[in-house]
Amino acid sequence: MREGLQATAGTSAPSTGPRRPEALPAVRLAARSRGAWALAVVAGAFTLAQLLLVRPGMGLGWDESVYVSQVSSHAPPAFFSAPRARGVPLLVAPVAAWTSSTVLLRIYLAALSGLALFLALRAWRGLFPTRVLATAGALLASLWVTLFYGPQAMPNYWVAVGALAGTGCFLRALANRSDRAALWGVGLSAALTACMRPMDAVWTTLPLLVLLLAVRRWRRPALLGALVGGLVAGAAQWVIEAYVSYGGLAHRLSEASRIQGGLGWNIAVGDQLRALGGRKLCRPCTGAAPPVLETLWWYALPLAAVLAAVVAIRARRRLATLVPLACAVSAAFPYLFMIGYAAPRFLLPAYALLAVPLADLLVHLLRARGRIRRPLTVTLLPLLLAGHLAAQLVVLEDTVGRTTAAHREWASVAAGLHRLGVRPPCLVTGANDVPIAVYAGCSSAATVGHNANTTSAGIRRTAGRVPTATLVAPDAVPPGYASSWTEHRVAGLRVYVAPAPSAGG
């Protein structure tokens, strides 16, 4: 009977005004359009901020040099250690495969990271109002670590947006069995995170897998298949490469653990705190913690997460808040309690997953009623947020300045090597050999350390065929294979250059 009434209403003759059943879709469409534009503005501002605040000509860092060299048009591939995955080389290939311009690479990655933020926030549509999602995007994009690593050839930001998008799509698919777009989003997001960092993908999706397997009313084969299938598809290359180049999956996992200092119970909370002042890698992590004003937001995160959970439970929307909170805790756990060093970028996935619940909390506080609560939130919260943003910008500016100076030193050493006759094809070993070799267009080699890939005898043989140089710090002793080579001074380093290869070599 109801269907018949709806059909009658839908086919009645036109009269004095628009029919309500036809007006509602237009209203929804306009609301969706406004929501998309709001998220697009946040994502666009994020891209613009990267281009203005993180210098496109900053040069490549150590890890970036490894990733970019795998597909570079001007440098041989650097040694690819066991923990690394091929996601970043695939990401940068459209630019790095035909040009060595770091400026173009930064612009490309900044634009792509803005688009990824937009899509990740859109994945949550229908779960939270647009104002919450836009606030979440602004919170994540305002962190110095997000701005710094968004335009870099590094995997952590992409794991973060993949985890954020995948969790949103998961919740949508859980709420609506017919939402096939959400299922595809779950699979593609899981594949992205696994392609970038397989182990991070497992940790960020672990609560989702537990929910699907442990809660009977949420057991959906299609959703489980999309999640597991995405993880398998993204990690397939890493697993295959383990058997081809690393002696099997178990050996690659063991080697990855060794390079990372041996994974196990190790409280690294203090290390992560000390790294928040702009230390890109804190290994070993010694020294004082940054000023309290620069780290106050980090201390406030656990309390804010608890408050967000309380607000969500009282508002009877537990799932949409508690699930990303659980995923954030899972994503942060190995980097807070299982590793012996720290880097701020390691926690980017956790920050991304916290963004939506915390944004919901902020919006709730700003819209709170009452003579006391509302004035306090309207005045106090904006002041706290402004102070937080100022602290993030101070750390970002300092980090960008120090990083740019270090990369310019590497470029100066590379130029000095060219003046000494060390030109492609060539080999560089010693201090900071990987990035300087990539800058110079040379191969790199090491006999000890995490990037050990050859022997002293192998370096001597190579030196007989191509120009070879060893970089030694001023207070260090040159390796035995280079002790008889000619010593030079280049940008504060001692450079030992092997005799010129014979014409027949």
- For residue 155, whether the previous peptide bond is cis, meaning omega lies within 30 degrees of 0, is no
* E-assigned strand segments in 179-306: none
Low-confidence ranges of the chain (pLDDT < 70): 1-33, 369-377, 503-505
Residue at 82: amino acid letter: A
Q: What is the DSSP letter of 150?
A: T
Residue 338's beta-bridge partner residues? 266
* Residues 71 and 93: beta-carbon distance below 8 Å: yes
| Confidence (pLDDT) at 8 | 33
Residue 497: its H or E element: strand 493-497
CA atoms within 13 A on the CB side of 369: 0
Residues 6+ apart with CB under 8 A from 285: 268, 270, 271, 274, 275, 279, 341, 342
What are 455-460's contacts with CB under 8 Å, separation 24+?
456/480, 456/481, 459/427, 459/429
Token output for 252:
């690659």
Closest CA to 136 of 320, 379, 276: 320
Query: Which residues, listed in sequence order, are joined to residue 489 by a DSSP beta bridge?
Result: 494
pLDDT of residue 465: 95
Q: What is residue 503's predicted lDDT score, i.e. its pLDDT? A: 59
The beta strands (E) that lie in 148-280 are given as none
